[in-house]
Structure 1
Amino acid sequence: MRHVAFAAALAASAPALAGIVSISNGGIFHEPPPANIGLPNNSQASVVQGFNEVQNLVLAAGLNVYDPNIPGFTALPAGTVVSSHMLVFDPVQTASGDADITFDGNIIGIIFQDLPLFQTHGLLGRPGVSYPGSNVSAYGFESTESILLIAPNVLRFHAEASSPGDRFRVLTPAPASLFPILGGVLFLRRRR
């Protein structure tokens, strides 16, 4: 029994990861992602692609995001624990793309404009993935893209894109630890 309790405690102490559950219309989830997927013209596909970025990050300062729950712009306060996910639609020629993207946690913010995307690559980007520099324009959303929250954890995305494609970052809260649940189970087991 001691081994089971120790294994459960170890599992509970490991950081939980948030993630993309699915991308409709043939979308592709990469794990791990190709190193160049963040760069224009390197991840060209006629479907939406996605990958997880930084996980369980405690924001040291407030972070401005678009909140689809309002809808509108707001700031996530310092101390918020977030996980980041990047979505890419970069067709070879001008094309439209549609997808419903499901996450395992509620969506608390979206970053989709060029400058905020660039400014958050270092904070929220995945180590080992190359991202565009500040000299690349129009890799966020322009006027033809739209996102609609259709459930607390599901976004509907539509884009008309060509080079350099469209990218956006979705933030979800970090998953809660299982430790309180396992601790309660072990406590009840001990009382018997």
Structure 2
Amino acid sequence: MKKFLSALFAAGMVASAADASVVGGTVTFGPGSFVELDSTVPMTIGQDNFDTPDLYALNELQDYTLGVDLVIDGGVIGAGTKVSSHYVGFDPLFWSRQGGSVSFSGKILGVISTTDTLLASDFLGAPAVSYTAAWERGLEPNWDKYSISDKTVSVSWWAISPGDYMRVITAAAVPVPAGGLLLVGALGSLAAVRRRRKSA
């Protein structure tokens, strides 16, 4: 019996981490659509790589523990914080305006949108992605706006070559006990067996 219970609790303690990833998006102003990119596929982003009116997003490093403080717009995320990173961009062929939003599975901790801070935070980038036009990235305060609501960032921006880009930092996913349901079911079965034994 003790061995049985020990095995059950061991199974219940096994955890599977779910990435704090992009879960969806929408374009609310402009002709484009939302496109989630597969960041495991090698690609280049940053200078006329798309030339479409679409709103792009991709997942970067996930569940990463910061070794140093991370500067975000209007603040700092402290070293030791576990975060997930995502990249959002708009790269139209012609001077265009776009409105839209992107949602994530994790709570948004902050946005990185200046040239210097994007460059300094590229260590959070996806390994398969090459980030070009490093000194031309970032948002223009007079033209580009964004707002945050829990797990969603909304944008209203104008862009042309090389496009507008920002990095969104979310709280890392909380591990979910993989054996939790198995444990509950097994304990229920064990209780039923014990009741039958008492009845006998």
Tell me the equivalent position of 2:84: 83
Give me the whole-angstrom Cα distance separating, in 2, the residues matched to 1:133 and 1:46. Answer: 19
- Paired residue for 1:30, among 37, 43, 47? 37
Give me the whole-angstrom Cα distance separating, in 2, the residues matched to 1:157 and 1:133. Answer: 21
Secondary structure (helix, strand or coil) at the match of 1:54 reads coil
**Could you list the per-position Cα deviations for residues 109-156 of structure 1 after superposition, in whole angstroms to 9, with x for gaps in the alignment?**
1101011111111x210001010254x32x21012000012x311111
Give me the whole-angstrom Cα distance separating, in 2, the residues matched to 1:34 and 1:162. Answer: 25
The yes-or-no answer on 1:112 pairing with 2:113 is yes
Number of aligned residue pairs: give it.
179
In percent, how many aligned pairs have the same letter? 26
Give me the whole-angstrom Cα distance separating, in 1, the residues matched to 2:52 and 2:40. Answer: 14
TM-score, length basis structure 2: 0.78
Shift in Å, 1:52: 0.3
Tell me the equivalent position of 2:183: 186
The yes-or-no answer on 1:48 pairing with 2:48 is no
Matched residue type, 1:16: A
Matched residue type, 1:145: D
- 1:33/1:160 Cα in 2 relative to 1: closer, same or farther (>3 Å)? farther
- Paired residue for 1:17, among 7, 19, 23? 19
Matched residue type, 1:77: G
Secondary structure (helix, strand or coil) at the match of 2:43 reads coil
Q: Please, which runs of 5 or more residues in structure 1 have no aligned partner? A: 67-72
RMSD: 2.8
Give me the whole-angstrom Cα distance separating, in 1, the residues matched to 2:39 and 2:86. Answer: 12
Tell me the equivalent position of 2:66: 59
Tell me the equivalent position of 1:131: 131
- 1:47/1:33 Cα in 2 relative to 1: closer, same or farther (>3 Å)? farther
Tell me the equivalent position of 1:102: 103
CA contact (8 A) 2:11 2:183 kept: no
Shift in Å, 1:37: 4.2
TM-score, length basis structure 1: 0.81
Give me the whole-angstrom Cα distance separating, in 1, the residues matched to 2:39 and 2:12. Answer: 27
